[in-house]
Amino acid sequence: MLEQAILNTGIGLMTGIIGSFIGFTCWPWWRRRQIWNGLRVAAEQHTGTGGFWCRVVNDSSFTMGKAVAYITIYYALEDIQDPPVGREAYITRQQHTVILREGQLCWAVQEGGENPMRVDIYSGEKQPLVIGFCVDNIIQIVSEKCQEPARVFLTRKVYQGDLKLVCLDCPAKVFPFTINPEAAQPIAFAA
């Protein structure tokens, strides 16, 4: 009888250890991997707005919680332009003359009358994200507050950049892109 009790205790202990390993290690790792593998970005045509739009797509079976988007654009300091009259920007020729590295963006949806910085992206959802606009002869890159103030205004030409997506549920993923304001599709993401 004592041997049976010891055997049952040992089996229960091993079952608990294996169950905990699966529940606390294997399952979360597999879930994060599925979300990361199912995360992609697709350029979207917004004719008439001069905008550089995209959709962040969650092709996994799980929700991406509190997704945040960051942008880096590679340009020379001479490409920075003064904001148009009546407009503001975080990066200008007179102040804060820096290269835009991992500046936060806001999502192109409304929550309480404002564009949120973080959104949940549900399974199968395609969440809209705006990167910037062509305004006359300059390119406006938006900020976490959308267009007011903008992140930076740049000379109208071709630029390379990275869109970095971060969320609670998987490691960050980076998507290289090209902005070409003269192309029919002004933003293109690397395959």
What are 17-60's pLDDT values in tens digits? 666 656 666 667 778 888 888 889 998 876 566 788 899 999 99
pTM: 0.82
Nearest to 173 by CA among 165, 185, 181: 165
Nearest to 71 by CA among 179, 180, 185: 179
Give me the amino acid identity at 163. L
Give me the amino acid identity at 177. F
- pLDDT at position 40, please? 93
Measured between alpha carbons, how far is 98 from 95 in angstroms, rounded to an integer? 9
Element (H, E) at 58: strand 51-58
Domain boundaries, the chain: 2-189
Give Cβ neighbours of residue 71 (< 8 Å, ≥ 6 apart). Answer: 100, 102, 103, 105, 131, 141, 151, 161, 162, 163, 164
Rg over alpha carbons for the chain, rounded to the nearest Å, is 23
Count how many residues are written for the chain.
191
- DSSP strand pairing (89-91 vs 150-155): parallel
- pLDDT at position 17, please? 66
| Cis peptide bond N-terminal to 171, omega within 30 | no
Q: Look at residue 178 and give its three-state secondary structure.
A: strand
Looking at per-residue pLDDT, the higher value among 24 and 1 belongs to 1
What are 129-176's pLDDT values in tens digits? 889 888 778 999 988 887 788 889 999 999 999 999 999 888 899 999
- pLDDT at position 25, please? 63
Nearest to 67 by CA among 109, 115, 122, 121: 121
Cβ–Cβ under 8 Å, residues 142 and 151 = yes
